[in-house]
Structure 1
Amino acid sequence: MCDTVKTSSGAEITVCTPHQLEMCHRCGMCFVDMNNEARAEAQMAKAAKQHEDGDPLDPGQLRVGTEVRMRDESGRNPPKPLDGRIVGVTEEINEESDFCGETCYVIKLRDNSLMTYPVDWVHEEWSVKIDGHYIAASKVLQLVSS
């Protein structure tokens, strides 16, 4: 049997009912991986609520509300790019993520789900929507910083 409890960070985690532990050797239950994912999702949601569209983030970063696109290089026809907009910035804490420990943009995708992607990688690999056209983020940052 298990319970759900809310942490001080707002994450809803699962624990064993009798002992209220994430990893309980007595009950033989381990919710650590699932709970780490819940904590990371709560952190993303919190970061997404801290800013309004147009707010600046750290120097050298794109503004909140900036529309971004990652090209689809899978070979699908027609291609399905990953479109979203920047809603915040956070350090990735999910230990299962390739980006754990990285400073990441929080990106709200078209389906309203949230994802993180390292700031530097977005600048190198993604495009930014300006006047209806997508331009490499690296070029946009060069123009803004000059």
Structure 2
Amino acid sequence: MLLSAKFAALIVFVVGVQAETHTVVFVNRCGRGTPRLKRNGVTLSTGGPYTSNGCGADGEGCTMVETTLVNPTTPGSGSSTDITLIPPHEFSVTTGFGYYNGCDGTNPSCPLAFRKPSDTFAQVACQADNVNLAITFCD
């Protein structure tokens, strides 16, 4: 188990309709470091400080949360979120997430993470419009 403070959250937003709204909230209980918010490989400015703590530009060596937040247009086409530990990603800190304002109560954590590409059970879907997401570190 790697106990260092390094971690990254990579978020991919897919927004097809302007009326959609999605909020991503980070809850960092580590007491150090700042998660990175990325879209399409570009780090977005959140107005706060940035600390990489040894993670690669795409989260290599760290626990990673992947998400697509989108209102469903057909059954099964809504939001999807997962935690990945597929190499080059690896466990760095306890991480979890949960949807809110729709699909509440879906709160997976590291034990349910992708460990190899075929672990599709790790994806948590949400078919609610305008769902929001909270990502928690060190909980």
**TM-score of Structure 1 vs Structure 2, range by shorter chain:** under 0.3
Query: TM-score if structure 1 supplies the norm length?
Result: 0.23
